[in-house]
Structure 1
Amino acid sequence: MRKLNRLLLAVSMVLSIVGISGAQERFDSTFLFRFVQGKDMFYVPWNGNGAELERLLLCVERNRTEILEGLIPVYVDGYCTSQATEGENLAMAKIRSNRVKSELILRGGITESCFVTHNHASEGDFVTVRIVVPMTRTEELSTEEPASVAEPEPGPSDVSSEPAVPPVEESAAVLPAPDRTGGSFSLRANLLRWATLTPDIGLEWRISRTWAVTVNGSWTSWSWDNATRRYALWEVAPEVRCYLGEKRAWYVGAMFKTGAFNYKLSDTGKQGDLIGGGITAGYQLRLNKALSLDFSLGLGYLNADYEKYEVIDGVRVRRSNETKGWWGPVNAGITLKWNLF
């Protein structure tokens, strides 16, 4: 199928060079937007996408009335081959198409009804937008503003009835290598911890769309009432996650936790170490391109070895040593997540 597409594209280009395209009654223009393999974000400044988007918005602006009236449809085709299954590829292609259409709706002033959308689990990682303008309309634009019909920038153009698909060799030359071993990094801050005056910060390494590793650390040290009351602790909690669903918003994971504490909220204080872990689950609510809220809960087991003490005349006096275990909630969070890259 790819060989056939290349052959059709080559024949069409030859025909356009020798002047056959001049006899057509319509002017066919295709715009291509490239995506990083394995990701659905539309990076506008990346890999020529910005210049291509400006060309497309100019074309939309000059034909907006006809587009809104349904006389000139806007064909959007999404492509993806970087996922494991055909279903995942189609889902990714759909998201990518919607990203491009959102830019046209917000910046171009058109509506969803103006689009004819198809998504494909083939060819590569890109989205094409194709607008077929009647030749008479193109000639009018040329008369009004000659500069507007200058030769388009180097890129895909389609003079046949099928959307242009860049040859595999061309895509391989400009697209980065598949992003399968490295992913995005994010800063994390558990707002529930901060609400208890316990600074908390962490990192998330999104290894792929499905797998991620997080680690959060907390530390605080407070004393009051002439140092007879104390609240101090530190904790480190690494976690491995598996993201689920089409949008990869839900997740399950396994967490480990270790730390130390010193609480003296009454006459008797407790100081010791804790260790444990459990199963986690949660949901990430995306706020914008950079920020998300991560709602999480962990269930499992914690073990604490500690000593009880009292402070007499400024001297800490140990009373006993104890060990306790706990089954139940071991972690909870409403975490603000900031994508670094």
Structure 2
Amino acid sequence: MMHKLKKLSLILFFTTGLLMSANAQKAAVKTNIPYWFTATPNLGFEFALGEKVSLELSGGFNPFKFGDTKQLKHWVVWPELRYWTCETFNGHFFGLHAVGGQYNVGGWNLGIDRLAGLKSNRYQGNAIGAGVSYGYQWILNDRWGLEFTVGAGYARFDYDVYSLSGNGQKVGENKKNYFGPTKGALSIVYIIN
């Protein structure tokens, strides 16, 4: 599965580069502000493919450990094809997105019953999925914008479970199907003409 995710990431990276050179007259660079509150550096690139269609590729990477047992290490990519109701980079849009990444998370007491295992265990694995999204971009001036995006869909999680007590032995493995939110962002956008 890891090999498939790396291969998908490389294909998306090179495809985005080709699209950028083919349609470099309108592009944007963005960052998801709330995602920074999880100590995750993130960046997105979006390219106009036509008057009402664009392609976005965004991602984040968190290599940090927060003490002896707390960690939120992960990387994730979200490619998305968008249809704009007015024009690219302005107003409402609808999208089809994919999501893929790897994670190594544990040691967190979030107070949510469904995530109670994060307090005493570490989960290491990968996820891949797809969904639909809606968003809106406000134009602040000629170069700057603010974008809101939400999305929902399906993801498949494949992971190993390690105990945080003792010597951190592997205590299990699992696969889960997930239906629910798959994307959310409030991004500051810089338009490149």
Q: What's the CA shift for 1:183? A: 3.5
- Structure 2, unmatched stretches of 5+, are 1-21, 108-118
The one-letter code sitting in structure 1 at the alignment partner of 2:62 is T
Q: Secondary structure at the match of 2:169?
A: strand
Is it true that 1:297 corresponds to 2:150 in the alignment?
A: yes
- In the TM superposition, 1:81-92 aligns within 5 A as none
The answer to whether residue 180 in structure 2 is matched with residue 328 in structure 1 is yes
Q: CA deviation at 1:277?
A: 1.0
Counterpart for residue 65 of structure 1: none
Change (3 A) 1:213 1:310: same
1:273 match: 126
TM-score by length of 2: 0.77
Residue of structure 2 equivalent to 1:317: 169
Seen in structure 2, the aligned counterparts of structure 1 residues 199 and 246 have a Cα distance that, compared at 3 Å, is closer
2:52/2:86 contact within 8 Å kept: no
| Residues 1:307 and 2:160 are matched in the alignment | yes
Q: 1:246 to 1:205 in 2, by over 3 A?
A: closer
- 2:92 corresponds in structure 1 to 250
1:294 is matched by which residue type in structure 2? E
CA distance in 2, matches of 1:229, 1:199: 18
Paired residues of 1:182 and 1:208 also in contact (CA < 8 A): no
Local SS of the residue matching 2:64 = strand
Aligned length: 160
CA contact 1:253–1:280 (8 Å) conserved in 2 = yes
Q: CA deviation at 1:329?
A: 1.1
Instruction: Name 1:50's counterpart in structure 2.
Output: none
Matches of 2:106 and 2:187, distance apart in 1 = 28
**Larger Cα-atom Rg:** 1
Cα shift readout 1:166-196 (whole Å, capped 9, x = no counterpart): xxxxxxxxxxxxxx95531111101121122
Q: Which consecutive residues of structure 1, in runs of 5 or more, have no partner in the other structure?
A: 1-179
Select 2:58's aligned residue among 216, 236, 248: 216
AA at the equivalent of 1:308: V
Counterpart of 1:228 in structure 2 is: 69
Aligned residue for 1:224, secondary structure, equals coil
Among the aligned pairs, what percent are the same residue?
Answer: 24
Q: What's the TM-score, normalizing by structure 1?
A: 0.45
Deviation at 1:340, TM superposition (A): 2.1
- Cα gap change, 1:322/1:253 in structure 2, threshold over 3 Å: closer, same or farther? same
Letter in 1 for 2:92: W
Distance, in Å, in 2 between the alignment partners of 1:185 and 1:275 is: 26
Displacement over 4 Å in runs of 4+: none
- Higher relative strand content: 2
Matches of 1:281 and 1:237 in 2, distance apart?
Answer: 14
Quickly say closer, same or farther: Cα 1:298–1:186, change in 2 above 3 A: same
What is the DSSP-based 3-state SS (H/G/I as helix, E as strand, rest coil) of the residue aligned with 1:241? strand
Distance (whole Å) between structure 2 residues aligned to residue 224 and residue 216 of structure 1:
25
* TM superposition shift of 1:296: 0.5
Letter in 1 for 2:190: W
